[in-house]
Amino acid sequence: MTAEVRWPRNDYSRVPYRLHHDEGLYALEMERIFRGPAWSYLCLEAEIPNPGDFRTTWIGDMPVVVSRAKDGSIHAFVNRCSHRGATIVRELRGNAERHVCLYHRWTYSTAGELTGLPFRKGLKGEGGMPDDFEMKSVSPGKMKVGNCAGMLFGTFQPDKAEPLEKYLGEFGTGIIRRFLNRPIRILGYSRQLIAGNWKLYAENLRDTYHASLLHEFFVTYGVDRATQKGGVKMDERHRHNMNHAYAATDTQEDAKAAYADTAARLDRMQLRDKKLLQFKNEFPDGMNLAAPTLFPNALLIQINNSLATRQIRPKGVGAHEVFQTVFGYADDDEAMTRHRLLSVNLVGPAGFVSMEDGEAIEVVQKATRSAGDAAAVVEMGGRGPVRDLTHRVTETPIRGFWSYWAELMGVEPEGAIR
């Protein structure tokens, strides 16, 4: 398959809307990114602590089983029977000694190897598989699994992929270790189906410009404002990024000057129950907002004391699921767990500071279907080379995302920045 993208500029400061609507490009993304050399986020190790534990997930639009084998090793394999293509594991999660396809009872080990099939030798000398049939030759596709501090990643092309540590870089491994600094406790899941291309979500996560404008709750109640100390960090390839801010580093006066439109409201509106805004600092760096995004499908998010991972699951060219795993720490007491759960009001599908993303993405998808060759303007924070920034009035990491996307897709413009 080949593709051509006509980039108006080589620094990705113009992004054609067609990239969110083109079926051919979507198919190519599945091949070159999700089944390519990128490392995709699978799940957390804490979700499969015991031998035999498994979870089903999606990498791109590929169904995948993540499973812990008897020897404790972790495997990820395509959730599709080698025989006639049925889903092997239909449950979301569980514990099993083996996995049996319902259709003809072909049987797979917890490591994803085909280990048996009924009537292989036939019945009374009749029927059966050919003598030279080798089960190994048709085992489901496997991903190589990598583990960074308990966050599991997989790639379908280990020969072409960089080692996981290098792929995540110092930036990625450092920030994962910050979030997963001690044993965690899974608090549960939430799911959201957004009627927009998955890359609109990837862009949203790299656009710190929108955070305090779209999400007015942030500003109104002072959870996060562009006037706070913070910035944007990226890895050296600009494929991963992190929007972050430090608690209590601005004043009400700073905020009122910056947000003239909403200034009146800053004094008028107060939450009656302020516990929602309570931040118990639990990280040495003092950040109350951290949203590191890892190419192509992962996000870790901290808003005050709510902690979660999010996995982006493309569902065709015009939709994606955001699958959120909320967690706390194993040593949290009951009061802290309650505080984290109440803080979930801030994030997720009904989150005071996240619900708007779903709507923003859907209205972009809706309005760009008919956009022809038109392109988005991505110049906030500057043009040209992509660099880290110590402020957040920027959308530069969006250009970083597209540069790596174009590289993997083989559609870079001439003289492309990287």
Partner 1 sequence: MTVPPEIRETLTALMAEYAMAIDDNRLEDWVELFDETCDYKVVTRENVEQNLPNVLMWCDNKNMLRDRVESYRHVNLYNLHYDRHVLGPLRFVKEEGPIWTFDVSYSLFQTELEGASRLFSVGKYRVEATVENGAGRLKSVVVVADTGLVPSLLATPI
Whole-number Å distance between alpha carbons of 269 and 244:
25
Question: Residue 165 CB, nearest distance to partner 1 (Å)?
Answer: 31
Q: Which residue, 30 or 360, has its beta carbon nearer to partner 1? A: 360
Residues facing 14 on adjacent strands: 377
Question: Residue 199 CB, nearest distance to partner 1 (Å)?
Answer: 18
Q: Which residue, 343 or 403, has its beta carbon nearer to partner 1? A: 343
Binding residues for partner 1 (CB under 8 A):
92-93, 186-195, 214, 216-217, 220-221, 265, 269, 271-273, 276, 321, 326, 337, 341-342, 344-345, 348-350, 352, 355-360, 362
Question: Residue 87 CB, nearest distance to partner 1 (Å)?
Answer: 18
Question: Residue 162 CB, nearest distance to partner 1 (Å)?
Answer: 34
Question: Residue 307 CB, nearest distance to partner 1 (Å)?
Answer: 12
Whole-number Å distance between alpha carbons of 311 and 141:
21
Contact, 277 vs 219, CB < 8 A? no
Q: Which residue, 138 or 367, has its beta carbon nearer to partner 1? A: 367
Whole-number Å distance between alpha carbons of 73 and 96:
15
Q: Which residue, 11 or 53, has its beta carbon nearer to partner 1? A: 53
DSSP character for 358?
A: H
Whole-number Å distance between alpha carbons of 347 and 357:
11
Whole-number Å distance between alpha carbons of 312 and 240:
14
Q: Which residue, 194 or 376, has its beta carbon nearer to partner 1? A: 194
Q: Which residue, 300 or 326, has its beta carbon nearer to partner 1? A: 326
Residues facing 108 on adjacent strands: 99, 114
* Dihedrals phi, psi of 118, to nearest 5 degrees: -65, 145
Whole-number Å distance between alpha carbons of 292 and 369:
30
End-to-end CA, the chain: 24
Whole-number Å distance between alpha carbons of 56 and 87:
11
Question: Residue 92 CB, nearest distance to partner 1 (Å)?
Answer: 7
